[in-house]
Amino acid sequence: MKLEQQLFLRFLRAGLWNEKIEYRLRRNEFLQLVSDARKQAVRGLVGHAMLSSELLHPNIAEKVQNTLFSIARQNMKMDHIVAASVSRIREEGIEPVLLKGQGVASYYHEPFLRESGDIDLYVKVEDAARAFDSLLTLDGATGVAGADGQEDFSETEKHRHLSVNGIIIEVHRFSDVLPREYDSTYQGISDSGLGSNHVIKSFEGVEVRTPEPTFNAFYIFLHLWRHFVAVGVGFRQVCDWAVFLRANAGALDLDRLRSWLESLDLMRPWKVFGQVAVEFLGLPGDCMPFLDASELKRARKVVSFIMREGNFGHEREDRWSTTGNRFLDTAKVFFLSTFRYCRMFLMFGKVAFREYKSRIYYYICKD
């Protein structure tokens, strides 16, 4: 691992667990840290670690502080929209469950250090249309602008989205949709995990349901795993999983968790990412169920992918570069994605191949 990557992970660990770090950053190191933190969507955590050092130059400290203020303001906006959205849906007699995101932020030592994304609200299938329509009455509700600048309310098999004052909200009728040979098993897991024993979080005085701990640990992992295999994932998602596991280690039903992972052939990916969380992010080993030191070699490869590709693969040149010719661009993405999935297959076996088949099927059928 390169020295600058080691330095990045050192600052990320310090920010994640609120540990003080004493290191005099040179200008080039500071710029590289800022760049890596942006790519991984962890500027708040890395910035917090920088400010813990008494050796930080005052001019740099001011820039970092301004970044943290900006992240905090965005989080306050997110919390407000979560409260408003849940309250509006509740007026329809529907109880949504907040997935991931702001619900996980509360487990950080300082929630406003987490860089926010979008808002995911799960409701039952029969309630999804009414829940979505109710959100359209919120002030600032619009469609989501696509690459062509046109706003729409795109709908997929699992959710439909809109924007409220620039914040994307996804209304889920399914928490996720897995490849067909595993999906019925997953839906049973999802129904049991989201149907009861919710953990209540407060947003501006509004009580909001989040999933029960065992399903939440499983679901946060499933989300980061599927994104990693498909396009790439940043350290923000792995940090979410790590802080949640540390806060809830004693509340997990390990027998249920094991049965879910084994029934979906996800035990190896769990163990590999477990090594990432423990060896590279500093999660205590006793907080990681099913920790397996034999997966450290694969974990190193995963970290290499994460550092190179960035949050949701945004640093992958093949994902964004185009020729303007739809046929050539589609062919290029297909072959480059296939090459990437082959590398995933070599690391994870058939569980990666099934994701490849599912993604190809999706792109063939989506139009």
295 located within any domain: yes
- How many domains is the chain partitioned into structurally? 1
Q: What is the pLDDT of residues 55-109, one digit of tens each?
A: 788 888 999 999 999 999 999 999 999 999 999 999 999 999 999 999 999 999 9
pTM: predicted TM-score of the whole model, two decimal places? 0.92
Placement of tokens 């769990």 in the chain: 270
Measure the CA–CA gap between 320 and 312, rounded to whole angstroms: 12
Q: What is the pLDDT of residues 310-326, one digit of tens each?
A: 887 767 655 545 556 66
pLDDT at 219 (0 to 100): 98
pLDDT at 330 (0 to 100): 67
81 located within any domain: no
Contact 244, 286 (CB under 8 A): no
86 located within any domain: no
134 located within any domain: no
32 located within any domain: no
One DSSP character per residue, 178-200 reads --HHHHHHHHHHHHHHHSS-PEE
Burial of 2 (0-12, 13-18, 19+ CB in 10 A): exposed
292 located within any domain: yes
168 located within any domain: no
pLDDT at 349 (0 to 100): 86
Please give the residue range of the domain that contains residue 276.
213-367
pLDDT at 57 (0 to 100): 84
73 located within any domain: no
pLDDT at 55 (0 to 100): 77
Q: Which tokens go with 23?
A: 């290191």
Measure the CA–CA gap between 356 and 353, rounded to whole angstroms: 5
Q: What is the pLDDT of residues 116-143, one digit of tens each?
A: 999 999 999 999 999 999 999 999 999 8
Low-confidence ranges of the chain (pLDDT < 50): 320, 367
